[in-house]
A and B are shown apart, each in its own frame.
Chain A
Amino acid sequence: MKSFLEALNRPAEAFRNKNRAVAWLLVVFTILVNGVFEPLLAWFANSRHTAPRIYLMLHLMLRTTLLGFASYLAICVVFWAVCKYLFGGETPLKTYIQTWGLTFFPTLLCSIAVAFSETFFTVFWNNSTWGMFLSIVFVGILVWKAILYVIFLREVAGLKGGRMFGAFVVIGVIIIALALFDGYVGLKTPVI
């Protein structure tokens, strides 16, 4: 619990302590909410009007879950490769894999919010109160993740000043491309 609170409130220290259990739990929960919880919620709420066949749904869940893990590894490789070969970072790939998961609090929250907002879309559409609440949640998550991204580049990749700004822009562009790709393959919240 202490490690969870540290990742939530003091990410710089959490990155330094590299609590792998917390990082992996956050990543696994995010992937499971994306790959298993969301389709089940949609199915039970019958928001898609037609109940899919069980084996098709299981196939979809397995595919989304595997793609989630692949997406996580891909973003870690991007961090490592860009920081090492373009900006002279010395952090090994293993460290990125062990620590990037500590930034997944907002991603997990986002996947839960997306699951509900998509399933109960009609409740929130044209409703300014719910809409305002969801706007606070989604934009807040985006800003939170961006803050963690900067802290991560500084504390884990060990970049500062111009090099950090360069890495921020280059990896930022790749993150947007990966997010679009994740959406294309069926991950409603990008696992990045």
Chain B
Amino acid sequence: MKKGKKTYTILENAALPTGWQKEKMLENILLECRKYDSSPAGKLYNLVAVYPWRIAFGLSAIQAVLCTLIWGTRYTNMILKVFGG
């Protein structure tokens, strides 16, 4: 009976999460909490942090269209000179 109890205790301990697993669970909980951050700065961060390329190319498209409409090839050539060659 005593032996059986000991085996049961070993099994129970083995089923418990390790320190690393506990840390991982806490990280996940904190991450989930941040998704429901209600402050405006938190909401903005969440909006930008998920699909960051969406915001980046959206803003870039607006500036590119506006600046090309205003300055034409002078602007596009300047961009090309700075970034592309």
**Interface positions of A (Cβ within 8 A of B):** 8-13, 16, 105-106, 110, 113-114, 117-118, 121, 124-128, 130-141, 143-144, 147-148, 151
Contact between chains at A114 and B84 (CB < 8 Å): yes
Contact between chains at B73 and A131 (CB < 8 Å): yes
Q: Within B51-81, which residues are at the interface with A (CB < 8 Å)?
A: 51-53, 55-57, 59-61, 63-65, 67-68, 72-73, 75-77, 79-80
Q: A131-B76, A136-B60, A143-B60 are in contact. Are A8 and B53 (CB under 8 A)?
A: yes
Contact between chains at A117 and B52 (CB < 8 Å): no
**Interface positions of B (Cβ within 8 A of A):** 27, 31, 48-53, 55-57, 59-61, 63-65, 67-68, 72-73, 75-77, 79-80, 83-85
Cα of A126 to Cα of B18 in the assembled complex, Å: 63
Cβ-defined partner of B84 (8 Å) among A11, A106, A113, A128: A113
For B65, the chain A residues whose CB sits under 8 A away are 132
Contact between chains at B31 and A134 (CB < 8 Å): no
Q: A11-B49, A127-B73, A151-B49 are in contact. Are A135 and B59 (CB under 8 A)?
A: no
* A-B contact sample (8 more), CB < 8 A, given A132-B65, A133-B64: A114-B84, A117-B85, A121-B80, A128-B76, A130-B76, A135-B76, A136-B60, A151-B49
For B73, the chain A residues whose CB sits under 8 A away are 126-128, 131
Contact between chains at A11 and B52 (CB < 8 Å): yes
Provide a sorted-by-A list of 22 A–B residue pairs whose CB atoms are within 8 angstroms.
A9-B50, A12-B31, A16-B27, A105-B53, A117-B85, A121-B85, A124-B84, A132-B76, A133-B64, A134-B76, A134-B83, A134-B84, A135-B63, A135-B64, A135-B75, A135-B79, A138-B79, A139-B59, A139-B79, A143-B57, A144-B56, A151-B52
Q: A9-B51, A131-B80, A151-B49 are in contact. Are A136 and B72 (CB under 8 A)?
A: no
For residue B37, give the distance in angstroms from its CB to the closest CB of chain A.
13
Cα of A8 to Cα of B50 in the assembled complex, Å: 9
For B50, the chain A residues whose CB sits under 8 A away are 9-10
Q: Considering only CB atoms, which chain A residue lies closest to B24 in the complex?
A: A16
For A130, the chain B residues whose CB sits under 8 A away are 76
Q: A140-B53, A140-B57, A143-B56 are in contact. Are A114 and B85 (CB under 8 A)?
A: yes
